[in-house]
Every structure is written in structure tokens, then in C-alpha cells.
Amino acid sequence: MEDQSILQMRNISKHFPGVQALKNVSLSLNKGEVLALVGENGAGKSTLIKILSGVYKTDSGEIVFEGKGTEIQHPLDAIGLGISTIYQETSLVQELSVGENIFLGRQPMKHGRIDWKRMNQSSQGILSDLGIKIKASQSVGDLSVAQQQFVEIAKALSFNTKIIVMDEPTASITDEETEKLFEIIRKIQQKNTSVIYISHRLKEIFQIANTVMVLRDGEVVSCNSIEDLNELDVIRYMIGRDIGNIFSDKSYECEEHILFEARKLCRRKKFNNISFELRKGEILGFSGLVGAGRTEIMRAIFGLDRLDSGEIYINGKKATISNSADAIRNGITFVSEDRRLESIIQGFSITKNISILLLKALRTKLGFIDRRKEKTLAEKAIKDLSIRASSTNELAMNLSGGNQQKTAVAKCLSFSPTIMILDEPTKGIDVGAKKEIHSLIKELAHSGVGILLVSSELPEIIGMCHRAVVVRDGEITKILEGEKITEENLLRSAVKTSIGLASKKDQT
Amino acid sequence: MTGSDMFVRGKKNEKESQRKVEKKLSRDIIEQKRFIKFLLNQKLLILIVLLVAAMAIKDTNFFSLSGVYEIFDHIAIIGIMAVGMTVLLISGSFDLSIGSVLSLTTVIVMLFQERGILISIIMGVVSGIAVGILNGLIVVKGKINPFIATLGSMLIAKGFALGISRSQTIVGSRAEFIFLAHGKVLGIPNPFILLVIFLLIGWYILRFTKLGRNSYAIGGNEHSAILAGIQVNRSKFVFFVFCSLTASISGLILASKTNTGNAILGDNVVLIVIGGVVLGGTSLFGGRGHIMGTIQGVLVLGLIERAMVVFHISSWYQYMLRGIVILAVIVLDTVIERRRREML
Amino acid sequence: MTGVADRNQIRKTVRVIFFSQTMLIILLSSVLLMTFLSPNFLTLRNLFNIVRQVAVLGIMAIGMTYVIIGKGIDLSISGMLSLCAIVGMKMQNYGFGAVLVGAIFVGTLCGLLNGYLVGKVKANPIIVTLGTSLVFVSLALIYSKGRSIINRTERIYSFFGNENVLGIPVVLLLIIALFLVAGIYLSRSIYARRLYAVGLNERAALASGIDSSKIVWISYVVQGLFVALASLVYTSRLNTVRVNIITPYVFDVITIVVLGGTTLSGGYGSLYKTFIGLILFGVIQNAMGLMAIPYEFQQMIKGIVLICAVVYDEFSRKRRMSE
């Protein structure tokens, strides 16, 4: 009997500084099978497929492809084997035509020059084979997102691809286009090509996948045929971790006064109809899966990105924020998700980083910066936040990740902000520093600062927040409060299921 | 149906209709884009027609052969360089040194003329290729930003030209050399023929060779180009050499116009070339461009310059207009690119 | 035991000094070298000559330092200089005050234009400033009708360029004063701190509420201001000024800044460094003159020096990044 297995990944482990991304993950894929890979943020899905597509190298474990052990060291290796990956960011060349993109780098030649006719005919053939109604001579730049994805699939197939990996393919396409995509996937299956499909849209997974594999914290939690489970089971597999005692108490209440109100914030293609309130002393969490649009919302509030429509009210008065300087003037500070490149300046010393929001306040009579005051400020921050550095003059780039983050937080703290926006403040930071930052945030809230906390770590949201806003695909699906902030509720609101969003008792 | 089901369905309908509106909007935008692109192309042609008409009215001699030839001499020199620059820009690189290569070639051709016309031509072209190789090495191997790198090679080439010419204008010893610029084949001036040849070469490269088509990929999405197995470094290197080569050929024509050469002839040339190329639709940011657009852009600029002469505008105002046109073109390109990035 | 530790400490300190003051060491060594090679070098007269020759370049280098720290570059200063000089000279009929105001006004306007295009529109600085250079030069040509303009004979108009005060050239005092003032401003003012931030990492600067467009814009206006001041010295050194399309000042000024150790990639540098670069440049140029090297080869050598400095700068930047 012919061996149906096309891929086996055995005991794959991958470690990054500060975090074990994958622990002994094993995966097996048959020809013509559609395997759905599910898990919340940081579960390891993206690391796993990056290892498969040659972007990362695995620390240990082996990859067996078509029965033979192989090493995938570079993206070109993966492509050579027949593994194509379609990411959310398009990899097509916008100015070239569909046919050219399909045959990029290997255009058919005749008499020493490109044979346009043959290229268009071949690519049109591939397209119609899959039922894709696009003309091969069209320019890719004119196609919609969904159509570009179809082209990428066609391109992958033109290579004799054996496995297509799709990372959140339905993220920005309509339901109709999703149906079209599924038709194409079914056709692919008929050709005995396999698909690894990453998505958080359980409804779709149950329409298209043969097998579902759930990852959690870098480990495989379950791997079942689609007939053996339902959506609820999947959600339960995704969560169900022991929260433990990382967080002490949230016993204090926040005040009633509304510090900040967002009304119907909207940005084309990114988020829509975002409305919420922030009270004085409240920690308002923003939960949701990666790509839901939380960071985009925060950046728009802070004035870094534009807002197409909507209004912001601070302390009851309408605020116009057209750039980051406006936001700061209104008392809002921001710690970016991209710690290394955006929340601190690597080439500046700790002192210079911390004082950057306070330059006007640190003025001497002549209008220059008072270096002594600056240094005192930095010394105090280092002590208060336990920043480990050899001196205040140490360059930020020489600090560890956790200490860099603390510097970024210290910068905002020194400013005595009204509202603080924290985007993934403890991502990639060791446990000790995490705890310290958490208590800092709580102290801040206790002193009356309003905090918007974007986090992909459910325990963090549960342990820290008074209320939690769940964002999915650019919209708010639910605002949970107090006791209702549980992993199950957070996750249910964050994924797209066909069942209701309530937290009713479930029948099995 | 429970309340929450209706709630879910209602929300779904709302999203559907919103998505439909977005789809129509994006379709409209795409149609608008295509129409605008079409219009822009026509805009240049219209400009050309207007300019020609204006000049013909002002100066009845305009359509005389000598008038036309004068324009085409100038346009040939700029145009040939524009072909090389177009290919290079599409691939995402840039070359500031073409002006110095132009001058250097004129100097070298003049210096070698005693040894024979053929030898002088060969040496001139070789010097251009040498600078192209230098550029390619610095940018590709040294991984230095092409702007800074070609700024440097511009200085080296100019300094070298100044040095070997002792800041003098060098007069060629063989008067026959002017046949290159002044000769005719079947009644058509040589420079025009060369221009057409290079336009065709450029068009062919960009349309029918892998190298040419791949340059769009390299400039548009270099990561994808690498993944597609395209030899990015080798291609970029070739483009630099090609660009300098075209500058060299232009240098030959320029030198042959008056049989002289000096080191400062090409000083402001790079701006005119870039102005024409970007005006014709090639973006400084790479990934876009066509030879057809380039020749139109160069024609427009050339006609503007000619028009200024016909309308007796002094050369100082010409400089200023040149500067303003360049600025306008660059600003437009930058704004368009920024808007394009926001759409993504 | 302590002896070994002390020696290591000394070695470390020496290394730190050496790397941070590389250019100063090179400067001192070249001065030493020149003193050996040419007996005329170390005379006061020669040294004062060096200062006079590089004065105009030096003042322009102050503004250029600001621009380069902000990750920009300005290739239009030659044209700007001509324009400021012509306007200044035409104002001589109305008194020195008018000259000062006129030149500064023009310089500031030019800087506003450059700054707008590079800072607000965010177009490529190299191409934009090449374009504005053409505009400035042509304006100068138009205003001067291509003719030479002659200085008035009052003493004030040659004071800055050619006069001495207590035996010291006025230019030297002027340069020191300007470098001091601008240098202190660059190291201690709020604006300067923001400028360094923008040059180092524009995204992070934006996230810290710094209006990067405005900061960059202002740096170009500062450049315009200093070019205007330089034009005063320029016109006072020459008796007649005639606008020329070809002036190589731009690359000399950039060489001076880069030679001093300010990197073209922004965020790093100081006027102290530029000052050393200026003196070093002056020494090199003077040396070439004393050794009777023909003008063209001087240009070529200066070009090679610039390129070496840029390459070395890129090289050490890459090395610093990877550490």
C-alpha cells in the first residue's frame, strides 16, 4: 500500500532568548490532507511554519519529507522540496502581470527572448484549472487581496508544490471570496497536494479541514480528525491552562470619573466602530488575536497613524489628536509593541531616554537642558524600577530586553501621564521583570492613571484588568467585566465561531 | 431563533453590506487609477503637441530641418542616458555619477584622438564601463547606499577628468571625428539613429529579457525576487554598468559635436535626465517605469528647453525653470508614492 | 596584583581616548608631519592663512553639521552662498545693517524651502537640494545680471575677511565665536536633543511625541542662516563677486563634516568634531599648496579623502551595529 504520508515533523523544539517557542512538537501530514493549525497568540503556530518554510532553523528534532529525512536551512530549500508558504503580506510583484508573477524568475523563452504567448497560456491554464476567473495578463496591482491570494496559490501549484501552507488566508477577504478559496482548496486536494491552514476562524476550519491540531504554549495539545470534535472542544483545548498565582489581587476599585472616551473610531481596512470608555484608575485590557487591529487602534489614538473618522474625548472635552505631539500634550503616553525600535532610542543613554518627554520641564533659565536634574531623574527611575545598568550613562542598546522595557516605562512614568497606552509590555521578558512591570502598572492605576493595556497573554488580561475589550477583525465583539473575564470568554469572543458569544452553560 | 442568533445574523449582514461598499469603492478607485494613468500618459503627449504648436507659431522656421535637428541632437544625448537610468531606477537603484561619466568620456576621447578615432572611441567607452563597474562594486559588494556611493564615484570621475585635462578644454586633433554627431545616414542624423537604437535596446531589454522583467521584481519586492531565485546582485551590477555605458555613448556624441571635451560638461545633466525619466512615469522608488514614458518625458523637457530659446528667455531663467521642473517632478513622485503606500 | 589591574585600566583608558579622539590625533600627527616637511608650515602667518582660507567653508560646515545629524544633507549651499552674497552686496548701498539683514533673510528663505521639501514632503534630500541649488544659482544670476559686483570701499565691508584685531585675524575670532555658540546650543538645547533623536531613530522619536518634520525643517533653516553668515565673510574677502555656476564648496564642506567624525547616517556628531575636521582640512589643503601640487590633483585628492572618510564611516557604523 502506497505510503500516504508526505510530511512528518518529529519532536521539533525551538528556543528564543527568553522563551521556549516550541517543545517537542510532532506533526504528520498525508497527501491531499488539509490540516488546520490552531492556537492563541504565542502558541507557536507561526514559529512552526517558519521552521517548515526555512526561515528558522530547528534546535532539535527532524523533518521527514516523502519518507526521507531532510534539512531545511533556507527558504529556497523549502521551495525546492515543494513546500510553498502564503503569508498575509503579499509576496507578489505589483507592477507585473499575473502570468509573470506565476513564472517569476523562470519565464518561458523562445529564440532567446521571453515567450509571452506561452507564459500567458500556461498561467491561464493553471488559473482555469483551479477555477480562478482572472486573466493572466492583468496587472497584479489591480487585483483585490483575495484575488492576489488565489494567484499565489496558482503560483505555488505551478511549481509542483506538494504542501501549501496558508497563514490566516481569510483575514481580509469577504465570505464569498472565502467560499471561492475553499473551492480552490478542494481542487488542490484532488491533485493530492496537502494544505496546512492556520486560522482562528473555527467556523471555516470546520468547513474545510480534515484534521485539527491545537497548539498551546509551544506544545501540541491535541490532534484529531475533524469528525471527532466540535468547536467548543477546540476552544477548550486552546485554553485550559493553570493560571497559577502570578497575580496577587485586584482588590481595589477604580473611580467613576471617565477619563477618556472613544466614539466610533474608524480607519479603513484596519478597524471600525470602536467605542469605549476609560475610567480614572482603571486598567482596561484589549484582548484578541494577533492582527485583530488593537495596535492599530492604539496608534491611531496616539496620533501616530491616521484616523478616518471618530472622536476622542478626554475628561469630557473633545480632543484633536493629529500627531504624537498632540497626544502627549493631552497627557497620553505610549509604549510601543516594537520595543527595540520604537519605544526607546537605542543610541541614547538611559538618562536621555528617560528625559525625552520632559525636556521642557528640565530647562534651566537659559533654556538649556539641566543635566544635573536629568541625571537625578534617571537615578531615581533606575532605583524605583530596579533597572539593572552600570550607570545612568549606559546606552540603551546595551541593556537587556526587560531593562529596556523598564526604561521605556520609566520614560512615561516621569511624565506623570493622565493616560498610558501599553502595547504588549511584557512580551519576551523574563518572569521576574514581568512581575515587576505588573506591579508598576498596578501602582500607576492606583494613583489614578488610566491604562489601556493591549496584551495577547490571557493570564495577563485576567490578572490585571478591571474590564477587557475583545477585538476581532477590527471590531469590538465584547466588553467583559470583572468576574466574566475568563479565558473561555476572552477566547470565544476573539475567534470566529458559529456559536453564540455568550457564556451560557454549555451542553456537550 | 434566539435573540443572540438574530444579533449575530444582524451583525453579519451589516458587515456584508459594509464589505460590499468597500469592494465597490476599491473597484472605483482602481478604475480611477487606470484612467488617471491613461490620462497622465496622454498629458505628456498633449504637452508635446502644445509645445510644438507654440513654437511653430512663434518661429516659422521651426519646422525647418535645422530647427528639428537641433532639438534632436540635445534630446539624443539626454535620451540615451535616460534609457540607462530608466532601467537602473526600475531595479531600485540610482546613479548620480552619469554627468561625470559624460564629461570624463569627452575628455578621454579627445586625449586619445591622436592615436586614432577608433581607439579614442574604445577608450572613451571603456572609461564609462569602468565607472559602472566601480559603482556596481561599491553598491553591491560594499552594500553602501547607492546615493552616497554614486555621489562618491561622481567626485572621483570628475576629479580624475579634471586632473588629466588640467582643467582645460581639450580640442581633438582629428576633425573627421565630428561625423559622429553631424553625419547622416540616409538623411537622418547619426545621433537620432543612435537614440532610436538605444530606445529599442532599452525597450527590448525591459520587455523581452529575463533580466529586464526581473528588474521590476527587484525594484518592486526584492524579497520575492530573491525567493524566486533571481540573481539580484548580479542583475544590479549589470544595470550599473549599462547606465554608465549609456552615459559614455552620450559623451561620445557630445564630444563629437564640437570636437572638444572638458571635465565640467556634465555637471547638471543628471538632474535633467532624472527629471525626464521620473516625468515619464518611472518612480525613484523603484518597481515602475517604461521606455515609452521616458522618451515622452525627455521630449517634454527638451521641448521646454527649446521653447525657452525660441521665446528668447535668457539662460538664467532656463536654469531656474529647470530647477523648478525637477523639484515639481520629484515632489509629485514622492507624494504619489506616499499615497500608494498608505493604500496598502 | 594591583599593578596588573592598574596597567589594564591604563590600557583601557588609552584605547578609549584613542578611539574617541581619532581625528584629533590624526590632526596633531599631520601637523607634526608638515612641520618636518616644510619649514614654512608652522609660522604664525601660515597658520593664520589656513584659517582665512577655510573660514567660509567652516561657517557653512556649522549648519551642515546640524543638517547631517538630522539624517539629511544639503547640496545647495553653493547656490545659496552665491545668492546671499549677491543680495548682501546689493544691500551695501543701504549700510551694513541692511547687508546683514538682507543676507540672513535670503538664507533663511532658502532654508525654509529646502526644509519644507525634505522635512514635510519628505522627498529625497540629495535630489531636492540639487534642484534648489539650480534655482538659487539662477536667482543669483538674474539678480546680478551676470555681472561682477564690486564691494564698496568702506572698511566695514572687508573687515571680516581681511582685517586683524590685535594681530589676530577677525575671521578666526568669528569662527571661534560661532563654533562656541552653535556648539553649546547643539550639546545642550532642547531642540538639539530632539534633533539627535530624530537622526538616530525617527520612529522612536515620533513615538516620544517629537514632531520630526518640524525638527528637520528647522535644521535646514539653521543651515541657511549660517550660509548667510558665511556669505558675509565671503564677500569681505573678495573685492568683486561674480556668480559662477560651478563652485565646489559643497563637497569641501561635506568633507569637513565627515572628516571630523560626524556620520552621514545621522544621530551622531558634534561641532567639536566638525571643528577638528575643519582644521584638518585646512592643514591638508595648505600642505598640498606648499608642496605645489597642481589644482586639479588637489581636487582629486580631496575627493578621495571624502570617499575614504565616508567608507570608513559606513564601515565603523556597521561594526558598531553588529557588536
Whether C297 and B160 lie within 8 Å, measured CB to CB: no
Tell me which of A10-14, A436-440, A447-451, C85-89 is least confident: A436-440
A328 contact residues in C (CB cutoff 8 A): 208-209
Whether B271 and C296 lie within 8 Å, measured CB to CB: no
Residue A294 included in any domain:
yes
d(CA C261, CA C279): 13
C127 contact residues in B (CB cutoff 8 A): 271, 274, 284, 326, 330
Size of interface B-C (CB pairs under 8 A): 114
Residue A244 included in any domain:
no
Strands A19-30 and A5-16: antiparallel
The pLDDT value recorded for residue A443 is 87
d(CA A476, CA B310): 66
Domain boundary among A116, A141, A161: A161
Whether A347 and C203 lie within 8 Å, measured CB to CB: no
Please report, rounded to a whole number, the percentage of residues in chain A having pLDDT higher than 70: 94
| Confidence check: pLDDT of C219 > 80 | yes
A352 contact residues in C (CB cutoff 8 A): 193
Residue written as grid cell 538632474: B271
Average pLDDT on B62-84 reads: 80
The pLDDT value recorded for residue A241 is 57
The pLDDT value recorded for residue A501 is 45
pLDDT tens, position by position, B12-69: 555 555 556 555 555 566 556 666 566 555 667 777 777 777 777 776 655 666 666 6
Q: Render the burial of C20-43: b for 16+ CB within 10 Å, e for the rest.
A: ebebbeebeeebeebeeeeeebee
The answer to whether residues A461 and A395 belong to one domain is no
Whether B209 and A76 lie within 8 Å, measured CB to CB: no
For position A39, which CATH number holds?
Answer: 3.40.50.300
The pLDDT value recorded for residue B316 is 81
pLDDT range class, residue A203, cuts 50, 70, 90: confident
The answer to whether residues A344 and A493 belong to one domain is no
| Residue in chain C nearest A358 by alpha carbon | C190
Domain boundary among A372, A392, A416: A416
The answer to whether residues A433 and A368 belong to one domain is no
| Residue in chain C nearest A298 by alpha carbon | C207
A-contacting chains (≥3 CB pairs under 8 Å): B, C
Residue B202 included in any domain:
yes
pLDDT tens, position by position, A255-295: 888 999 999 999 988 899 999 999 999 999 999 887 788 99
pLDDT tens, position by position, A434-476: 888 888 888 889 888 999 999 988 888 888 899 999 998 889 9
B4 contact residues in A (CB cutoff 8 A): 500-502
The pLDDT value recorded for residue C117 is 96
pLDDT tens, position by position, C2-58: 566 677 777 777 776 666 677 788 888 888 888 877 777 777 778 888 888 899 999
**Percent helix, percent strand, percent coil in chain B, to nearest 5:** 80, 0, 15
Residue B12 included in any domain:
no
The pLDDT value recorded for residue B63 is 62
| Confidence check: pLDDT of C120 > 80 | yes
pLDDT range class, residue C277, cuts 50, 70, 90: very high
The answer to whether residue A327 neighbours chain C at the CB level (below 8 Å) is: yes
The answer to whether residue C181 neighbours chain A at the CB level (below 8 Å) is: no
Average pLDDT on B74-83 reads: 93
Residue A275 included in any domain:
yes
- Which H, E and C letters describe A323-380, residue by residue? CHHHHHHCCEEEECCCHHHHHCCCCCEHHHHHHHHCCCCCECCCCEECHHHHHHHHHH
Strands A163-167 and A83-86: parallel
Average pLDDT on A300-327 reads: 92
Task: Pick from A90-94, A216-220, A464-468, B245-249 the range whose average pLDDT is largest.
Answer: B245-249
Residue B21 included in any domain:
no
Give the DSSP H or E segment for A6.
Answer: strand A5-16
Range of the domain at B200: 45-343
The answer to whether residues A108 and A69 belong to one domain is no
The answer to whether residues A218 and A142 belong to one domain is no
Domain boundary among A143, A161, A179: A161
Which stretches of A386-473 are DSSP H helices? 401-414, 431-446, 458-464
- Is-contact A266 A309, C-beta < 8 A? yes
Tell me which of A325-334, B36-45, B160-169, B185-194 is least confident: B36-45
Residue A507 included in any domain:
no
Residue B25 included in any domain:
no
Size of interface A-C (CB pairs under 8 A): 70
Closest CA to C115 of C223, C241, C273, C229: C223
Residue A503 included in any domain:
no
Residue B276, min C-alpha distance to chain C (Å): 13
| Residue in chain B nearest A146 by alpha carbon | B23
Residue A105, min C-alpha distance to chain B (Å): 6
Q: Considering only the beta carbons, identify the residue of B2, B19, B220 that sits closest to A93.
A: B220
A338 contact residues in C (CB cutoff 8 A): 203
B224 contact residues in A (CB cutoff 8 A): 91-93, 104
B19 contact residues in A (CB cutoff 8 A): 174
Residue C148, min C-alpha distance to chain A (Å): 44
pLDDT tens, position by position, C296-312: 778 778 878 887 887 77
Which stretches of B221-314 are DSSP H helices? 222-227, 232-258, 269-279, 291-310
The answer to whether residues A343 and A385 belong to one domain is yes
Whether C300 and B326 lie within 8 Å, measured CB to CB: no
Residue written as grid cell 535637428: B69
d(CA B79, CA B310): 21
Q: Which of A79, A86, A93, A116 to mutate to test the interface with B (most CBs of B within 10 A)?
A: A93
Average pLDDT for chain A: 86
Residue B28 included in any domain:
no
Q: Considering only the beta carbons, identify the residue of B147, B160, B320 that sits closest to C300.
A: B160
Whether B335 and C130 lie within 8 Å, measured CB to CB: no
Residue A470 included in any domain:
yes
Average pLDDT on B307-321 reads: 81
Average pLDDT for chain C: 86
Residue B160 is placed in which grid cell?
Answer: 580624475
Please give the tally of structural domains in chain A: 4
Residue B331, min C-alpha distance to chain C (Å): 6
Average pLDDT on B316-322 reads: 85
The answer to whether residues A212 and A283 belong to one domain is no
Average pLDDT on C263-280 reads: 90
The pLDDT value recorded for residue B117 is 86
Whether A104 and B207 lie within 8 Å, measured CB to CB: no
For position B69, which CATH number holds?
Answer: 1.10.3470
> Which distant-in-sequence residues (6+ apart) come within 8 Å of A339 by Cβ?
A401, A404, A405, A408, A427, A428
Average pLDDT on C276-292 reads: 87
Whether A174 and B229 lie within 8 Å, measured CB to CB: no
Please give the tally of structural domains in chain B: 1
| Confidence check: pLDDT of A406 > 70 | yes
The pLDDT value recorded for residue B12 is 55
| Residue in chain B nearest A504 by alpha carbon | B4
Range of the domain at A189: 1-82+165-234
Q: Considering only the beta carbons, identify the residue of B22, B213, B225 that sits closest to A107.
A: B213
The pLDDT value recorded for residue A314 is 93
Whether B320 and C130 lie within 8 Å, measured CB to CB: no
Residue B30 included in any domain:
no
The alpha carbon torsion through C115, C117, C119, C124 (nearest 10 deg) reads: -120
| Confidence check: pLDDT of C111 > 90 | yes
Q: Considering only the beta carbons, identify the residue of A336, A346, A348 that sits closest to C207.
A: A336
Sheet of A419-423, strand order: A332-335, A419-423, A450-454, A283-287, A467-472, A475-481
Residue A504 included in any domain:
no
Whether B227 and A79 lie within 8 Å, measured CB to CB: yes
What are the phi and psi torsion angles at A391 (to 5°)? -165, 170
pLDDT range class, residue B2, cuts 50, 70, 90: very low
Average pLDDT on C259-280 reads: 90
Give the DSSP H or E segment for A266.
Answer: strand A258-267
B-contacting chains (≥3 CB pairs under 8 Å): A, C
pLDDT tens, position by position, B274-295: 999 998 889 888 888 889 889 8
The answer to whether residues A324 and A425 belong to one domain is yes
Q: Considering only the beta carbons, identify the residue of A94, A104, A500 that sits closest to B228.
A: A104
Q: Considering only the beta carbons, identify the residue of A96, A114, A502 that sits closest to B210.
A: A114
Residue B5 included in any domain:
no
Three-state DSSP state, A32: coil
Q: Which of B4, B208, B235, B337 to mutate to test the interface with A (most CBs of A within 10 A)?
A: B208
The answer to whether residue B332 neighbours chain C at the CB level (below 8 Å) is: no
Q: Which of B138, B162, B167, B315 to mutate to test the interface with C (most CBs of C within 10 A)?
A: B162
Whether B166 and C296 lie within 8 Å, measured CB to CB: yes
Residue B24 included in any domain:
no
Q: Considering only the beta carbons, identify the residue of B8, B216, B229 that sits closest to A93.
A: B216
Residue B275, min C-alpha distance to chain C (Å): 10
Whether A105 and B34 lie within 8 Å, measured CB to CB: no
Which residues 15-74 of B are in CB contact (within 8 Å) with A? Answer: 16, 18-19, 22-23, 26, 30, 33-34
Residue A176 included in any domain:
yes
CA angle A148, A150, A154 (to 5 degrees): 115
| Residue in chain A nearest B283 by alpha carbon | A95
Residue written as grid cell 475583545: A470
